[in-house]
Structure 1
Amino acid sequence: MNPWRLRLLSQLDTLGTVRAVAQAANLSPSSVSQQLAVLETETRTQLLERSGRRVRLTSAGLILARRARAILDHMDSVEAELRGFGEEPVGLVRLGAFQSAIHTMAVPAVTRLAAVHPHLDVELLQLEPHESLPALRGGDVDIIITTTDFDELPLGPDLDLVPLATDPVVLVVPPEHPVATRGVVDLAAYADEPWSFDIPQSYMANLAQRLCRQAGFEPRVVCRFSNYMMALQHVEAGLSITLLPGLAVGDRYRVTTRELATPITRSITAAIRRGAPARAAVHVVLDALRHPSDLPLPPSDKITRDQPGSGDRTAPARDEDG
């Protein structure tokens, strides 16, 4: 269906006569009638019927005319949103992300954006999935990095999603642990080990407990930490083993990771509110999260990357998401 013809049909419903539609569209009445006839052919439906010397909409025509209004309004909003991509990004964008995504995804993107768009300000907030979704829906943030696997607060049709990455869940053990020399691991073999868990009811705590129970045992939890740095230090000291997302395991820690025999991955996505006003600043941050390597490195980045410990991927902050 041609949008222009749909607009003519919608105007006929509003203005009442073909002559009025012709005047509004700067066309002749015969041209309007011809275009509406073509629309009838396209839809294979009778949209108009004669009533004396005038034409009026049939029931099907009336339904299509009013649906057309919504379709055309949506097209206008999409066009406005696409035009926003070409504007200069300025102003504040609030980006919420869970702990392991901050230093691995958000910080690199924001650092490179600062070198390209000096009038763009990005405020980073650590928000776990159970916090970030309500914050986004409530307008407290503009973009979030979350996971589609957080069942407690499902992503709905009110959000637009931009896939970013997949992240495996791995077993983390001290480097001298017997598992360190193996390939993939079966959790059932570690039923008697001391376990480090995230805080209760968090994403990672719930996932780790579920995986252990599926393997046939109740884990012996000897400690619970609200951030990955402490959990990794505990494992490094040989006091426990743990399950963590791969993004959380920084290079500075002397630990070994092993893939699970039954692979578990989480899907990481960026999300924005559907129908929010189109802003070039929001779109450029989304693009930077999707393709961080497309942005130039800032002058100081090479120095930072060459320093010892620059491979650390763990943020020393509160975590509840996994």
Structure 2
Amino acid sequence: MTLNPWRLRLLCQLEALGTVRAVAAAAHQSASSVSQQLAVLESETGARLLERTGRRVQLTSTGHLLASRARDILDRMADAEAELRALGQDPSGVVRVAAFQSAIHSLVVPATVALRLAHPGVEVHIDELEPHESTSALLRGDVDIAVTTTDFLDAPRHPDVHLVPLRTDAIVVVVPPGHRVARQERVDLAALADEDWAFDLPGTYMDDLATRLCRQAGFEPRVVGRFNNYLIALQHVESAGSVTLLPELAVDPRYAVVARDLVPPTYRRITAAIRSSSAARASVTVVLDALSGAPA
């Protein structure tokens, strides 16, 4: 029996994305072509990998088992290719990193700059993804490292994912300089129940967290602006007089705002997630080292 790596990747993508149509879009193939290749894979293995439920196709238990093994196989092939290229050389190759907004400018970009000097053969590609999106991208094989946070997320951790702690980041309330709570060292959110709030977009990590913290403080926030860019949120606080909750790493000193810790204090733990089988790749290791040493 000979297994085709490309067909194995399609099987892994079907497990991660859920539909043949989504796999076809990700692979830039037609849905019929993907279905044919998966049928060939079934023939190659002599096992029933797929079953139809209504109009959808899903993996059987055997299909899930093969997909799990296939991820290891594909990662090991990538490792072998990288090791062959790197014999007698510094680490090289492309490492794809997914990260949420504030981590990009505070962690990933500084790490990339440092790597250009220390390991010029390593090329870092960056995608901005929310924490709940980046882990899925990691499992699909779309990225090699996901800079994320597992705090406040309901999704279970995957056994194929290894977490590397990077740092702890406080969640702070941000107000205009002349605000009545600006002189306090720590702020109880209940004191801001009547304020106009700037929030992230619905369904994002910070929107979910800010909503939860306000409700725990006993009020429903009056949201007057929603922005998917922290710099715009800071500008809104500065110019429109709103208040917001942000990770401390996201507070840019160029804006005339005041950031204060919460009562009780709230933190998020920033981690780098990798597939366990990628841990031995030299290029991934040097990127992780750079992320760990990035200036705060």
TM-score (norm 1): 0.63
Q: Cα distance 1:277–1:151, how it changes in 2: closer, same or farther (>3 A)?
A: closer
Aligned counterparts of 2:286 and 2:278: Cα–Cα separation in 1 = 15
Structure 1 residue 144: deviation in Å? 1.0
The runs of 4+ residues in structure 1 deviating greater than 3 Å are 84-87
Aligned counterparts of 1:168 and 1:202: Cα–Cα separation in 2 = 18
Aligned counterparts of 1:150 and 1:209: Cα–Cα separation in 2 = 12
* 8 Å contact kept, 2:171–2:247: yes
1:103 aligns to what?
A: 105
* 8 Å contact kept, 2:175–2:241: no
1:249 aligns to what?
A: 251
Aligned counterparts of 1:160 and 1:228: Cα–Cα separation in 2 = 29
Match of 1:114 among 105, 113, 116: 116
* 8 Å contact kept, 2:166–2:272: yes
- Structure 2: 5+ residue stretches without partners: 1-75
The within-5 A match list for 1:102-251 is 102-251=104-253
SS in 1 for 2:187: coil
Structure 1 residue 118: deviation in Å? 1.6
Structure 1 residue 125: deviation in Å? 1.1
* 8 Å contact kept, 2:98–2:147: yes
* 8 Å contact kept, 2:175–2:244: yes
1:11 aligns to what?
A: none
Structure 2 counterpart of 1:284, one-letter code: V
- Using the TM superposition, name which of 107-116 and 143-152 deviates more: 143-152
- Structure 1: 5+ residue stretches without partners: 1-76, 294-312, 314-322
SS in 2 for 1:200: coil
Q: Cα distance 1:277–1:170, how it changes in 2: closer, same or farther (>3 A)?
A: closer
Aligned counterparts of 2:262 and 2:278: Cα–Cα separation in 1 = 40
* 8 Å contact kept, 2:152–2:209: no
Aligned counterparts of 1:227 and 1:134: Cα–Cα separation in 2 = 22
1:282 aligns to what?
A: 284
Structure 1 counterpart of 2:181, one-letter code: V
The within-5 A match list for 1:47-126 is 88-126=90-128
* 8 Å contact kept, 2:132–2:153: no
* 8 Å contact kept, 1:158–1:273: yes
SS in 1 for 2:167: strand
SS in 2 for 1:271: strand
SS in 1 for 2:186: coil
Structure 1 residue 261: deviation in Å? 1.1
Structure 1 residue 150: deviation in Å? 4.3
Structure 1 residue 158: deviation in Å? 1.3
* 8 Å contact kept, 1:194–1:241: yes
Structure 2 counterpart of 1:106, one-letter code: V
Structure 1 residue 292: deviation in Å? 3.3
Aligned counterparts of 1:272 and 1:190: Cα–Cα separation in 2 = 39
1:72 aligns to what?
A: none
Q: RMSD in angstroms over aligned alpha carbons?
A: 2.3
SS in 2 for 1:175: coil
Asked whether 1:265 is paired with 2:232, we answer no
Structure 1 counterpart of 2:284, one-letter code: V
Aligned counterparts of 1:220 and 1:247: Cα–Cα separation in 2 = 25
Aligned counterparts of 1:125 and 1:257: Cα–Cα separation in 2 = 28
Q: Cα distance 1:292–1:192, how it changes in 2: closer, same or farther (>3 A)?
A: closer
Aligned counterparts of 1:191 and 1:118: Cα–Cα separation in 2 = 51
Give the number of the structure whose alpha-carbon radius of gyration is greater: 1
Structure 2 counterpart of 1:188, one-letter code: A
